[in-house]
């Protein structure tokens, strides 16, 4: 996780919140927060909170007495989350999922939206989550399905491969969409000490934007894909964004666009 601050640096947190959150993260934030609210935990630890899309919903759905601790390894992402604010106070803390700075059995629930793909040792990270859960507590997290089930990410990745044929940027396929094997997820949870079988639901949703360029800006400039593009320049970021825009328009039209997104939602008890 040492490279996380570099991955989400500069203007990425603001562009991520402005474009990526409504494009692909909001539907799953609604789902994850509702699942947690239905469990009525007295305390929740959120890992990889990013710019706070799940945090804001939890702060709305959970009673004021419920303790919410929102963490992320990346200070810039948490700063953007704090700037956006929450309907009621939550605790914000920079923290590494590989070494959580909390005592054993501190929380009744742990939540993580689209963060597990970044963990360098997932079994160890899950062991840390299990350690801070109270007996009977629940871990709820989601991960993206394979890139072929996520239309905009696939089209952008293919467009950039055409622009940089000798060294195509593969961040989206390699990392966000690289942890989709449900059997591997179950094995990693077992390696982390979870003895009950996880409940894994594959959940499709729709990703919508008013125009193709919004999708292109979101992926090319509002994610760590931007760093891979910059490292290959020329063609520069502007040309890469235009190539992605053109590819989205060819596939989905030049007006409002709508594509499939799909993720796995995992629930497991300690």
**Which two three-digit tokens encode residue 259?**
């594509």
Assigned domain for 98 exists:
yes
Assigned domain for 225 exists:
no
Give residue 111's domain range: 4-150+178-207+262-269
Assigned domain for 116 exists:
yes
Torsion 178-238-80-202 (CA) sign: negative
Assigned domain for 45 exists:
yes
DSSP class of 104? T
Assigned domain for 247 exists:
no
**Residue 177 near residue 146 (C-beta atoms within 8 A):** yes
Assigned domain for 166 exists:
no
CA dist 105 and 85 (Å) reads 28
CA dist 21 and 60 (Å) reads 17
SS3 113: strand
Count the domains in the chain: 1
Assigned domain for 219 exists:
no
DSSP class of 96? B
CA dist 125 and 48 (Å) reads 12
Assigned domain for 239 exists:
no
User: What CATH number does the domain containing 68 carry?
Assistant: 3.40.50.150
Phi-psi label, residue 93: left if phi above 0, alpha if psi -120 to 50, beta otherwise:
beta
- pLDDT digit string (tens) for the chain, length 270 residues: 445 444 554 567 899 999 999 999 999 999 999 999 999 999 999 999 999 999 999 999 999 999 999 999 999 999 999 999 999 999 999 999 999 999 999 999 999 999 999 999 999 999 999 999 999 999 999 999 999 999 999 999 999 999 999 999 999 999 999 999 999 999 999 999 999 999 999 999 999 999 999 999 999 999 999 999 999 999 999 999 999 999 999 999 999 999 999 999 999 999
By the 10 Å C-beta count (0-12 exposed, 13-18 middle, 19+ buried), 108 is classed as buried
């Amino acid at each position: 996780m040492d490279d996380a601050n570099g991955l989400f640096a500069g203007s990425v947190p603001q562009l991520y919140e402005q474009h990526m959150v409504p494009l692909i993260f909001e539907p799953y934030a609604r789902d994850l927060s509702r699942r947690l609210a239905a469990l009525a935990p007295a305390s929740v630890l959120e890992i990889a909170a990013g710019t706070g899309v799940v945090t804001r919903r939890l702060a709305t759905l959970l009673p004021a007495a419920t303790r919410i601790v929102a963490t992320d390894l990346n200070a810039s992402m948490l700063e953007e989350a704090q700037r956006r604010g929450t309907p009621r106070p939550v605790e914000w803390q920079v923290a590494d999922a590989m070494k959580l700075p909390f005592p054993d059995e501190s929380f009744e629930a742990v939540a993580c939206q689209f963060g597990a793909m970044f963990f360098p040792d997932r079994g160890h990270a899950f062991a840390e989550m299990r350690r801070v859960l109270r007996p009977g507590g629940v871990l709820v997290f989601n991960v993206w399905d394979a890139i072929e089930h996520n239309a905009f990410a696939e089209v952008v990745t293919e467009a950039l491969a055409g622009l940089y044929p000798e060294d195509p940027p593969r961040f989206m396929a390699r990392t966000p969409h690289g942890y989709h094997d449900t059997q591997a997820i179950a094995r990693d949870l077992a390696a982390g000490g979870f003895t009950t079988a996880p409940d894994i639901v594959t959940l499709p949703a729709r990703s919508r934007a008013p125009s193709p360029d919004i999708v292109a800006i979101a992926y090319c400039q509002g994610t760590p894909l931007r760093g891979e593009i910059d490292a290959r320049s020329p063609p520069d970021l502007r040309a890469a964004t235009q190539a992605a825009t053109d590819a989205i328009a060819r596939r989905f039209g030049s007006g409002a666009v709508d594509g499939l997104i799909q993720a796995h939602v995992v629930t497991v008890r300690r």
